[in-house]
Amino acid sequence: MSERIPKINELIHHHIAELLPREVDFKQGVFVTVAKVDTTPDLRYTRIFISIFPIKETPYVLATLKKERGVLQRKLNGKLHMKPLPRIVFQSDDTEEKADEVERLLRTL
C-alpha cells in the first residue's frame, strides 16, 4: 500500500492548520481546528474535517469557510508542489458529539 496519500493528508493538514487562523477571521469566541484530512486516491478532492467550539457555531463556521474557500484553495495550491491539486471541501467533525452520545447511552444502561 502506498504511503503517498497519508503523506499528502499530513501535508495538507499542516498547511490548512497554518492558513486558517491567518486567512479567516472568525468572530470572537469561536475556535476552529483541523481534526482530520482525507484525500481521495485520485487526488481530485480533499475533505478537511474541522472541529468547532462552541458546537452551536457550526453553521456559521461552515458558511464562513464556504465563502473563504477560494482564498484558502489558492493559498494551499501555492504551497503544494504536485499535480493534480486537490479541491478542498470543508466538513464538520462530529466525532466528539458521537462520543458524547455513546457515553450518554452507556450511562443510561
Contact 69, 91 (CB under 8 A): no
d(CA 103, CA 64): 31
Which amino acid belongs to residue 40? T
Q: What would the pLDDT profile of 50-65 be if each residue is shown by its tens digit?
A: 999 998 999 999 999 9
- Provide the mean pLDDT of the chain: 91
Global pTM reads: 0.84
Q: What would the pLDDT profile of 8-67 be if each residue is shown by its tens digit?
A: 999 999 999 999 999 999 999 999 999 999 999 999 999 999 999 998 999 999 999 999
Which amino acid belongs to residue 108? T
* Domains of the chain, CATH where assigned: 4-108 (3.30.300.20)
3-state secondary structure 48-91: EEEEEECHHHHHHHHHHHHHHHHHHHHHHHHHCCCCCCCEEEEE
